Amino acid sequence: VIDIRKLYAETGYFTYDPGFTSTAACDSAITYIDGDEGILLHRGYAIADLAENCDFLEVCHLLLNGELPNPQQKADFERTITYHTMVHEQLAKFYSGFRRDAHPMAIMCGVVGALSAFYHDSTDIFDPVQRKIAAHRLIAKMPTMAAMAYKYTVGEPFMYPRNDLSYAENFLYMTFGTPCEEWKVDPVLSAAMDKIFILHADHEQNASTSTVRLAGSSHANPFACIASGIAALWGPAHGGANEAVLKMLDQIGSVERIPEFVRRAKDKNDSFRLMGFGHRVYKNYDPRAKIMRETCYQVLDRLGIRDEPHLAIAMELEKIALSDEYFIEKKLYPNVDFYSGIILKAMGFPTSMFTVLFALARTVGWISQWKEMIEDPAQKIGRPRQLFTGYAARPFVPLDKR
Ligand code: ACO
């Protein structure tokens, strides 16, 4: 192993690695990925085992505290999270400052960052108690704030959280419930929601998590750091891909037109890419995509949706792409976002909410990674270097001579 710091001190060399394709920026004990084998472990547990046997808050406890909770710890953790589910009433007023047609991710960037203007007793990053409260607040308030973003854009009244419901049920209630009618939980849909949250909970040093770590490395408060992660997640090459997949399936329109779009995806002169395909780390089937596909069938079956047009196109697209030389050679497999959009649409979410749901679920991963970084004695401010390609020093030219 080359000690880059020593090499730089001795030689003045440093590595040039745009996109960090082969540069580790930290050590971490949270999430392990073997991209060639399609393996994803959180604190040593396989994602399939967690998705099958745990609820989302158990996975949150695991990521944040290092271990799955025992029954007493689980009850305590649930009590702590539900204690924090409401947001400051003044924060609710923020929403009315946005246009009704604002993208909910734009709203989330603003309101999550604004938490630091309300919860001053959890912004001291050097106090372990405050760090813990900040983490609990973020996990607890994200569903409330996400549901409020949805309610605001559709013009319905905000719903207060119901702490007798599970995390996923409560989110569905705040999103789709109204004050005028009794709201009934559909266990298949809330289980699917919970699974979607688990599948998105953490994914080591992706673009948004690295953004959270970089912002946190300057000792910015945790709410500001998570807002920076939300901004990074929004892009279609990252968390925005689930929204982009549905738009692409719409654009393809029918199974007959798939070959045309596969051809376009392979054409280097065409900027079109098959959204939901490819991953920086997975060069095999994304293990989350397999679980997502099964969940998709369960939800559509429950809702009695037999001929979902997006699903038919998605399945055929997957079949064609996976047998195509280009996709095989470049190891482009469906990723987690490929099927999640179809499930979310069937559940009634507008496409603009898809990435918000991703942000909601990823918050626990972000804050766990942030906490790990702050608690690392070797932590330093993140400060990438550059290869300068501009002008060498040149004489100044006064305004009247330019
Ligand atoms: N469709 C067609 N070709 C693709 C695709 C795709 N979806 N993805 C990658 N390729 C090709 C590239 O053109 C490139 O070809 P080349 O070697 O001939 O130049 C090669 O595969 C490698 O692609 P890169 O972009 O260099 O790989 P990188 O690791 O930088 O990008 C990314 C990964 C951004 C995920 C990319 O695969 C992509 O844009 N996919 C579509 C968007 C998407 O689904 N994003 C979600 C990722 S998962 C997540 O964030 C939760």
The Cα 84–Cα 161 span in angstroms is 10
Record the tokens describing residue 346, joined without a space. Answer: 């069937």
Measured by CA distance, the residue closest to atom 44 of ligand 1 is: 276
Confirm if 104 and 356 have CB atoms less than 8 A apart.
Answer: yes
Q: Is the CB of 232 under 6 A from ligand 1?
A: no
265 lines ligand 1 (CB under 6 A): yes
Any atom of ligand 1 within 6 Å of the Cβ of 234: no
The pLDDT value given to residue 183: 86
| Most confident by average pLDDT, 175-189, 194-208, 295-309 | 194-208
| Residue 66 region by backbone torsions, left for phi larger than 0, else alpha for psi between -120 and 50, else beta | left
Query: Could you give the CA distance from residue 213 to residue 204 in angstroms, rounded to a whole number?
Result: 11
Ligand 1 atom 18 nearest Cα: 268
What confidence category does residue 214 fall into, taking pLDDT thresholds of 50, 70 and 90? Answer: very high
Alpha-carbon gap, residue 208 to 237, rounded angstroms:
11
Q: How far apart are CA 265 and CA 274, in angstroms?
A: 6
- The question of whether 127 is a catalytic residue gets the answer no
Cα–ligand 1 centroid distance for 279 (angstroms) = 6
Q: 61, 203, 279, 310: which one is catalytic?
A: 279
> Does the C-beta of 143 come closer than 6 Å to ligand 1?
no
Query: What pLDDT score was predicted for residue 2?
Result: 63
Confidence check: pLDDT of 144 > 80: yes
Task: Please give the share of the chain, as a percent, with pLDDT higher than 90.
Answer: 77
Query: Per-residue confidence at 7, pLDDT binned at 50, 70, 90?
Result: confident
241 lines ligand 1 (CB under 6 A): yes
What is the number of other CB atoms lying within 10 angstroms of the CB of residue 345? 21
Task: Answer yes or no: is pLDDT of 1 > 70.
Answer: no
**Rounded to the nearest 10 degrees, how much is the dihedral formed by the CA atoms of 123, 94, 167, 79?**
50
Ligand 1 and 332: CB distance under 6 A:
yes
Report pLDDT digits (tens) over 295-332: 998 999 999 987 778 888 988 998 888 899 999 999 99
**Spacing, Cα 357 to ligand 1 middle (Å):** 22
| Predicted model pTM | 0.91
Mean pLDDT of 146-167: 96
88 counts as catalytic: no
Model confidence at 95, pLDDT cuts 50, 70, 90, reads very high
**Over residues 168-185, mean pLDDT:** 93
Bridge partners of 33, per DSSP, are 40
ipTM of the complex: 0.93
Q: Is the pLDDT of residue 12 over 80?
A: no
CA angle 48, 53, 58 (to 5 degrees): 100
